[in-house]
Amino acid sequence: MPRRTLIAGTGSYLPERVLTNRELESMVDTSDEWIQERTGIRERRMAAPHEVTSDLALAASRQALEAAGWGPEDITALIVATISPDMPMPATACLLQAKLGATRAAAFDISAACSGFIYGLQIADGFIRSGIHERVLVVGAEILSRVTDWQDRTTCVLFADGAGAAALRASGPEENERGIRSVSIRSDGNLWDLLYIPGGGTQAPQSERVVAERLQFIKMKGNETFRVAVRTLEMLVVETLRDNGMEAADLALLIPHQANIRIIQATAERLGLSMDKVMINLDLVGNTSGASIPIALDQAVRAGRVAPGDHVLLEAFGAGLTWGSALVTI
């Protein structure tokens, strides 16, 4: 039996400050009822002014390392999925590496928005199964509140801050039934303009115009994104189970990207999966993009909703457009 990539420990961190729907009512023309009904979100967390993305990543990483029983020097590759890095250069993973003391690691970021953690899992899985790296830490960390337009009601009610991490290692001879069974990632760059941040890159470098036109913030065609997300995710989860010779009944838990309760319900319905087998935290956490899945995974593990031997399906969809799934035996 070839070795698999096993999740040795998970961690997550949410900033203290809670931002409720009621507070948003005083900031933009919206209502608690609209937000709850159309998205499922009740409140979300906001980073403190002094916090940067690598700080959130650090807190989540420390928890994951503790759960895995690793020291920071055990990590040989450190991958951070983020679209809200501390700075354009260097990678947030390198800044995290320094804070964590992960001196032996090769550290780099990946940019795949909400699918970033699944992309990171596939890279880590390749590293580990090929024997290139023994111990990989994959982190999703975002401070989306800093790239959100607080005057745009169509996006500011959705996005939030947080971080999640997973420590990954090769399975041992007696553990080969556990670990990542498959990871599938895809993208369609033709649909890039459904969800993007126009300013701050080479196309529109930071300037007075960028600030005046609010180009440094997320732009989203929500309705079109919603429709592509539902269609794509329904196909993706069915294909993932089929490719693994499994049925929905074999799953202990579905852990979807936490973007919108209606997207999640549509995916669960397509699988014939009851909602008690679906991990939901977006009511309290909102959409934390790359951090969404690792936070949900960690909360599920710590709440005892999954145990060793359980099959779990992770799935995500986001800017790029990108999407992906992973079938993991915990």
User: Between 122 and 260, whose beta carbon lies closer to ligand ACO?
Assistant: 260
207: which residues sit within 8 A by CB, 6+ positions away? Answer: none
Q: Could you tell me if 216 and 210 are in contact, meaning their C-beta atoms sit under 8 angstroms apart? A: yes
Closest approach, Cβ 289 to ligand ACO, in A, equals 4
Closest approach, Cβ 249 to ligand ACO, in A, equals 27
Q: What's the Cα-to-Cα distance from 300 to each of 154, 168, 219, 290, rounded to whole Å?
A: 29, 17, 31, 17
190 belongs to the catalytic site:
no
133 belongs to the catalytic site:
no
Cα–Cα distance, 151 to 219 (Å, whole number)? 12
Closest approach, Cβ 41 to ligand ACO, in A, equals 9
94 belongs to the catalytic site:
no
Closest approach, Cβ 140 to ligand ACO, in A, equals 12
Cα–Cα distance, 128 to 124 (Å, whole number)? 6
Residue tagged active-site, from 114, 133, 156, 260: 114
User: Between 233 and 312, whose beta carbon lies closer to ligand ACO?
Assistant: 233
User: Between 168 and 230, whose beta carbon lies closer to ligand ACO?
Assistant: 230
Cα–Cα distance, 287 to 296 (Å, whole number)? 11
User: Between 263 and 327, whose beta carbon lies closer to ligand ACO?
Assistant: 263
Q: Could you tell me if 322 and 80 are in contact, meaning their C-beta atoms sit under 8 angstroms apart? A: no
Closest approach, Cβ 153 to ligand ACO, in A, equals 4
User: Between 240 and 287, whose beta carbon lies closer to ligand ACO?
Assistant: 287
Residue tagged active-site, from 21, 260, 281, 287: 287
Residue tagged active-site, from 94, 257, 260, 281: 257
Residues contributing to the site for ligand ACO (CB under 6 A): 30, 34-35, 38-39, 113-114, 153-154, 157, 195, 222-223, 225-226, 229, 259-260, 263, 287, 289, 317-319
**Could you give the residue numbers annotated as active site?**
114, 257, 287
